[in-house]
Amino acid sequence: MTTTTAPDGRVGHQVGRSLHRLEAREKVSGRAEYTHLMALPGMLHAKIFRSTVAHGHIKSIDVSGAREVPGVYAVYTSEDVLKVIPDPYYGPAFHDQPILAVGKVHYVGEPVAVVLAADPHVAEYAAAQIVAEYEELPAVFDEVEAAQNTTLVHEELRPAGTFADLKHLKGRRGTNIALDFRLRRGDVDKAFASAAQVFEHTFRTQKVLHLALEPYASIADFRDDGVTIYSAAQGPSFVRTEIARLLGWPENRVRIKVPYLGGGYGGKLYIKMEALATAMSMLARRPVKIALTMEEQFYTITKHPATLCIKSGIDKEGRITARKCEVWWNGGAYADIGPRVTQKSGFTASGPYDIDNVAIDSYALYTNLTPAGALRGFGIPQLVWAYESHTDMIARALKRDPLEFRKQNLLREGRPQATGTILKDAAIEKVLDRIADRLNWKQPFDRGTGTVRRGRGLAIALKAVISPTTSVAIVNISGDGSTTLYCGTVDMGQGSDTAMAQIVGEVLDMPAESVRIVPRDTDVTPYDMGTLGSRSLFHMGHAVRLAAEEARAKVTALRRELGEPEGGNAPLAELFLKKYGMQAGNIVGTGTYKPDYIPPDASGLTTNATPFWMVAGSGVEIEVDTETGHVRITRLINVADVGKPINPKIVETQLSGAALMQLGFSMFEKMQIDGGQITNASLADYKIPGMHDVPLVMENETVDTVQQNGPFGAKGVGELATFGVSPAIANAIDDAVGVRLTELPLTPEAVFRALRANANQPLGCE
Amino acid sequence: MSGAAKTINLTLNGRSVSAEVKPHHNVVEMLQTQFGLFGARESCGQGLCGCCTVLVDGQPVSGCLSLAVFLDGSDVVTIEHLSERGQLDPVQRAFVECGAFQCGYCTPGFVLMTKALLRQNPDPDDEQIRDYLAGNLCRCAAYPEIVNAVRMAAREAKAGSTG
C-alpha cells in the first residue's frame, strides 16, 4: 500500500491505523456466532420442498406421505400461509415473491411446501415424500427473448411503492420488463451519422452466485405480541420493515438480530428466508429455523446474467463522440433488487469516458430462472466487462495503443458524466496511470514463444454509489468512560465494525480497541438502509462520526458545567463521578446521515447522481497455452481510489478478496442451466477460486486521494476491485493470441475454440 | 433416522467423553448437538470446502463426511482446543497478525489444516503451503493472507524451538 499509516495505538490517531479486526480472536478460535449455527429452545427445523418445473400451474400437492413420517410436526403449503398472512408477497422493489408458491411456480427450485420437525433429518426425509403435480407452461430463460414478451413470467407487475420511479409500473400487464431505465444525452443518431468510424459489439455474462460458505439461515420466534428473527441478513432494518408490513404490525413488534455473517456479497440483502421462517413460526407457534444447504443456495439468489450491446462513434482524431448502450438484465423469476441494479448501473453504462452523445437503455427482465439480485458490484462488473472490452477492441481496430486511446477519451475532473453530474473526487486518470506504471506499459514486453504466448491488458471503471440512502448511529459513553457504538451496518467480513470503532476513537480521542460495537439488533441498533453497494463506510461512517461528535460536544458542555478548565483533560469517569456522585449516567450522541441526491429526469439526467464516485481498475499479465487454451494469470494488479483509507490493511484485503472473487466469475464460474434445471448445483460441480487460482503475483494499491465530502476523506471499498478484472483478462488474451472473447467465463475451451476459429479450423458444436 | 443409537467413547480435546450417536450422524452434528462445539461447521456437505475440518488421531478429517460412530476410540481435536486455556495458539496468532480471514466461517478449518501441515512439515515453502491447503475454500478469498499466516506460524515455531 502506498498509504502511510499512523503509529499503532496512538490515541487520537485512530483513522489510518492498520488495526486488526476487532473480532479476530473470536473468529480464529471458532467462537464467532453465525445464524446457521444457532438454536433456540423448542425450535423446529424446516426443510423445503421445491418446484421441479420452471413454469407451471400447481395442480395438486400431496403431503400425506410427509405427514405420516414419524417425528414430523407439521407440513405446510401456501394454503396455510394465506390463513396467517393474507397477502404473502415480498420484495424490495416489487411485492412479487410469495412466501410459498401460490397457484403457480415460476422457477425450478421455488419453495412449494415446508416440513417441520424437531430432527432436521426427519424433516428432510419427509420433504422428499411430498408429491406435486404441475400443468407446465411455456417458460423463458433468455433475457433478450424475454424482452419480446411472447412468454410471460407474471401476469401483472406488482411494484412495491418504496421507489417513486417504479410506481408507474403498477398493474402493468403483458410484459416481462420490470424496469426500463433510459438516458439520453446529446444526439447519438446525429453523432453516429457524422462519425468517421462506428463500432458495435455484443457481450454476454453468465449466471453465477454468491456462494457464501455460511448458507442462508433464519430463525423466527413468533409470539402474539411480537416476533424475533435471528438472521444472516445484510440489511436488518429492511427485514424489519418488510416483515412488519407482511404482518400488518408496527415495526416495534418486529425484532431482527444479526450475528456475524459467514459471507454475504449482496446475497443476504433484503428478504431471503426471513418471511418463510416467520410464517412457519406463526403456523407452528414454535421457533422455526430454516438453514439452507449449499445446493439450495443455487435456488435462492444469483448475480444477473446480462446481454450488453454497445456501439460507439469515433471521429477522425480518435475521440469517442457517441455511445449507445443497450443492456438486458436477466432478473429471474422475482425482481428482488434487479430494477435498482438496472437503473443505478445504467447511470454509468457508457463508462469512464467523456462522451457528448450518449444513449442508454437498461432493461430489467423477468425470466423463469432463480431470481437475481446484487452481487458485489450492483451490475457494474457486467457493464465494465462490456465497455472495457469494447473500448479495447476499438483501440486495436484503430491501431491505437489501448492506454493512449483510453487516456484521450477519459472523463476528467470537472467534466459532466453521462448523467450530467459533474465528476468530482474521482481519480480515474491517476488510477489508470498507476496500473500502466505497474505494468511497465511503455516498456517492451516479453510476448512468449512457441505454444506459450504472453499478453497484457488493463481496464478502468466508474461507479455511482446507490443513492439516496440513510444511516443512523448512536454513541453511548458510560459512567466509567467506556464507549459503545450502536450501528446497523452488518460486518460480514469487510471489517466495518473495526472501521466504525476507529471513527469513534478518532473523534472521542480513545483507542479504537476500547470501543464496543453492539451486535446488530433492531430493538437496539438504529436504522440503516443496508450493508450494500460499498455505501457503509461513507454513509454509516458519517452517521457514526456525527454521533461521536455530538457525544464529544456533550462532554465539553459537561466539563464546562462542572467548572473544569477550558481544554482540561480530566478523565471521562471523573466527570461522571463529579456530576452524579457515583459511577453513573450516560452521554449519548446520535448521528443521522443522508446525502443530497436529485433523481434523474425523464431523460435520465441529473446534476447530482451520487454523493461519491467509485473508481478502480485492473491490469494483468497472462500466458496462453495455444495447445489447450489454458490461460495462466501471472500478474494481477488492482488499483483503486478509496479516498483516505480508514484502515489501510483492511482496504488491501478487501481489494484482494474482491479481485479474486471476480477472477472466479471471469475464468470458470458458471451455473449450467438446461431447460431451467441447474445441473451443477454443488461445490463438486461448481468451482470457486481456491489456493491454486491465486495469480503468481498480485498487487493491490490505492492512489493518494481525499474524498472531500467523505468521513475523514474516506469512501467505500468493498466492490471496487471486482470492476476491471474480467475485461483486463480478455484484453490480455487478445493481446497474447489475437482472439476476442465476448462471453464470460473465459474457459480454456472458449479460448481454444476461438483460437481454432481464428485459424479457420473451427471445432464442432459442444 | 432409523437405527439404534450407539454409545461411543472417545478423547475429545483432551478429555475422555462418551456420546450417543445414531448411524447417520456425522461428526459435525455430534460435536454441535452433544458437545456444543460449533467451530467445525458444515458448508458444502461434500468434503470439498474444509469448513468442517477436525483432527482425528492427528489427521485432518472432513467432519461432514465422517460418521460419528467411527470415532469410537479416537482422539479428536477441534478448533476450540487450541485456545482452551485462554491463550491463542501460535497458528491462531499468526492468522490474526496477517489478517488471514474476513467473514471467518472457514477459518477454523484453515487453522486446523495449518496445524496438521506444520506438524508434518515444519518449514513448508509457498508451493507446499498452497498444495496442502488446496482442499480448503475461502469465499472471501483471503488466500494471500492465509499463506502469509502459515509462513509466519512456521517462522515463529522455528524461532521458538531454536531460541
Confidence of residue A765 (pLDDT cuts 50, 70, 90): confident
When pLDDT is cut at 50, 70 and 90, the band that residue A306 belongs to is very high
A609/A716 same-domain check: yes
* Domain assignment of residue A159, yes or no: no
Among residues of chain A, what percentage have pLDDT more than 70?
Answer: 98
* Closest chain A residue by Cα to residue B89: A29
Query: For A91-196, where are the E strands, in sequence order?
Result: 97-98, 104-105, 111-117, 131-136, 177-185
Q: What integer is the mean pLDDT of B43-66?
A: 97
Tally the domains of chain A: 3
DSSP A34: B
What is the per-residue pLDDT for A566? 79
Nearest Cβ partner for A213 among B39, B105, B143: B105
Is A719 part of the annotated catalytic residue set?
A: yes
Q: Work out the minimum CA distance from B44 to partner chain A, whole angstroms.
A: 5
**Domain range list for chain B:** 6-79, 90-162
Summarised one tens digit per residue, pLDDT across range A23-78 is: 999 999 999 999 999 999 999 999 999 999 999 999 999 999 999 999 999 999 99
Neighbouring CB atoms inside 10 A of A173's CB total 9
Out of A143, A274, A550, A719, pick the active-site residue: A719
Q: What is the pTM of this model?
A: 0.97
- CATH of B90-162, picked from 1.10.600.10, 1.10.150.120, 3.30.1490.190, 3.90.1150.10, is 1.10.150.120
| Secondary structure (DSSP) of A664-677 | HHHHT----EETTE
Q: Does A478 touch chain B (CB under 8 A)?
A: no
B47 touching chain A per CB within 8 A = no
Does residue A4 sit within a domain? Answer: no
Whether A213 sits inside 8 A of B106 (CB atoms) is yes
Residue A747's pLDDT band (cuts 50, 70, 90):
very high
pLDDT, tens digit, for every residue of B81-137?
999 888 999 999 999 999 999 999 999 999 999 999 999 999 999 999 999 999 999
Alpha-carbon gap: A651 to the closest alpha carbon of chain B (Å)? 11
Closest partner CB to A20 (pick from B80, B96, B147): B96
Query: Among B24, B104, B133, whose Cβ lies nearest the Cβ of A27?
Result: B104
Distance from CA of A684 to the nearest CA of B (A): 7
Assess whether A494 and A586 both reside in one domain. yes
- B134:A692 CB<8 A: yes
With an 8 Å Cβ cutoff, is B137 touching chain A? Answer: yes
- C-alpha A172/C-alpha A448 separation (Å) is 57
For chain B, the average pLDDT equals 96
Which of A28, A682, A683 lies nearest to residue B96, judging by beta carbons?
A28
Interface test with B, best of A213, A513, A655, A660 (most B CBs within 10 A): A213
Interface test with A, best of B44, B81, B130 (most A CBs within 10 A): B44
Residues A521 and A641 in one domain: no
**Chain B partners of A653 at a C-beta cutoff of 8 Å?**
99, 102, 142, 145
Q: Is B84 on the interface with A (CB under 8 A)?
A: no
Kindly provide the b/e burial profile for residues A553-585, where b requires at least 16 CB atoms within 10 angstroms of the residue's own CB. Answer: ebbeebbeeeebeeeeeeebeebbbeeeeeeee
* Contact with chain A for residue B101, Cβ under 8 A: yes
Nine-digit cell string for A197: 468510424
Q: What is the three-class DSSP state of A435?
A: helix
Grid cell 470446502 — which residue? B49
Backbone angles phi, psi at A127, to 5 degrees: -60, -30
A531 and A390 in a single domain? The answer is no
Whether residue B44 and residue A294 make contact (CB cut-off 8 A), yes or no, is yes
Residue A731 structural domain: 306-466+601-758
Point out the domain boundary residue: A576, A593, A610: A593
Read off the pLDDT band of A416 (50, 70, 90). Answer: very high
Residue where one domain finishes, among candidates A260, A291, A322: A291
Exposure on the CB side of residue A456, measured as CA atoms within 13 A: 25
| Residue numbers in A near B138 (CB within 8 A) | 213
Cβ–Cβ gap A30/B136 under 8 Å: no
Among A473, A143, A506, A516, residue whose Cα is nearest residue A338 = A143
Q: Average pLDDT, whole number, for chain A? A: 96
Cβ contact, residue pair A694, B108, below 8 Å: no
Same domain, A555 and A644: no
Residue A338, SS3 per DSSP: helix
Tell me whether residue A149 is in a domain: no
Burial of A118 (0-12, 13-18, 19+ CB in 10 A): middle
Boundary residue ending a domain (A542, A573, A593): A593
DSSP state of A422: B
Is 70 exceeded by the pLDDT of residue A9?
A: no
Rounded Cα gap, residues A156 and A178, in angstroms: 10
A558 and A664 both lie in a single domain: no
SS3 A512: helix
Task: Kindly give, in sequence order, each residue whose CB lies less than 8 Å from that of residue A286, ignoring residues fewer than 6 positions away.
Answer: A42, A43, A44, A73, A116
Does residue A191 sit in helix, strand or coil? helix
Q: Between residues A161 and A292, which one has the greater pLDDT?
A: A292
What contacts A494, CB < 8 A, 6 or more positions away? A531, A536, A650, A654, A717, A718, B102
Question: What length does chain B have?
Answer: 163
Domain of A224, CATH number, reads 3.90.1170.50
Q: How far is B7 from chain A (nearest CA, A)?
A: 19
pLDDT at B153: 98
**Whose CA is closest to A360, among A398, A329, A406?**
A329
Q: What is the pLDDT of residues A263-299, one digit of tens each?
A: 999 999 999 999 999 999 999 999 999 999 999 999 9
Distance of alpha carbon A422 from alpha carbon A414, whole angstroms: 6
**Domain identity same for A269 and A318:** no
Q: Is B99 close to A211, i.e. CB distance below 8 A?
A: no
Cβ of B32 within 8 Å of Cβ of A37? The answer is yes
Q: Are A578 and A503 part of one and the same domain?
A: yes
**B6-79 belongs to which CATH class?**
alpha beta
Residues A344 and A447 occupy one common structural domain: yes
Residues A325, A237, single domain; the answer is no
Q: Which residues of A touch B79 (CB under 8 A)?
A: 29-30
Q: By CA distance, what is A24's nearest residue in B?
A: B96
- Are A330 and A304 contacting, i.e. CB atoms less than 8 angstroms apart? yes
Nearest CA in chain B to A295: B44
pLDDT digits (tens, 9 = 90+) for A584-599: 999 999 999 999 999 9
Show residues of chain B in contact with A29, CB under 8 Å.
39, 79-80, 82-83, 88, 92, 108
Task: Decide if A615 contacts A641 (C-beta within 8 A).
Answer: yes
Q: What number of other Cβ atoms are within 10 A of residue A592's Cβ?
A: 14
Separation in Å, CA of B75 to nearest CA in chain A = 19
CATH for A497: 3.30.365.10
pLDDT of residue A685: 97
Residue A179 β-bridge partners: A364
Does residue A424 sit in the same domain as residue A327?
yes
Per-residue pLDDT tens over the stretch A462-521: 999 988 999 999 999 999 999 999 999 999 999 999 999 999 999 999 999 999 999 999
Question: Would the CB atoms of B32 and A660 count as touching at under 8 Å?
Answer: no
Whether A694 and chain B come into contact, CB under 8 Å, resolves to yes
Which helix or strand (DSSP H or E) is residue A504 part of? helix A496-508
**How much is the pLDDT for A439?**
98
- With a threshold of 0.95, tell me whether the complex ipTM lies above it: yes
A71, three cell numbers: 417425528
Residues A493, B143: C-beta atoms closer than 8 Å: no
Q: Measured in whole angstroms, how far is the alpha carbon of residue B147 from the centre of its chain? A: 17
Residue A668 has pLDDT above 90, yes or no: yes
Give the span between the Cα atoms of A319 and A404, in whole angstroms: 11
The pLDDT, as a whole number, for residue A163 is 75
Mind telling me how many Å the CA of A497 is from chain B's nearest CA? Answer: 12
Q: What is the pLDDT of residues A523-557, one digit of tens each?
A: 999 999 999 999 999 999 999 999 999 999 999 99
Which residues share a beta bridge with A454?
A623
Shared domain for A109 and A241, answered yes or no, is yes
Give domain status of residue A191, yes or no: no
Report yes or no: B35 at the A interface, CB cutoff 8 Å: no
Helix/strand/coil (H/E/C) assignment for every residue in A441-501? CCCCCCCEECCEEEEEEEEEEEEECCCCCCEEEEEEEECCCCEEEEECCCCCCCCHHHHHH
| B106 lies within 8 A of chain A by CB | yes
Q: Is B53 on the interface with A (CB under 8 A)?
A: no
Q: Is the pLDDT of residue A7 over 90?
A: no
Residue A320 has pLDDT above 70, yes or no: yes
In chain A, which among 133-172 make CB contacts under 8 A with chain B? none
The alpha-helical segments, DSSP class H, found in A199-358 are 236-247, 274-284, 294-297, 338-346
Of B161 and A261, more confident: A261
Which chain A residues touch B99 with a CB distance below 8 Å?
20-21, 24, 649-650, 653
Look at residue A283 and tell me if it is in a domain.
yes
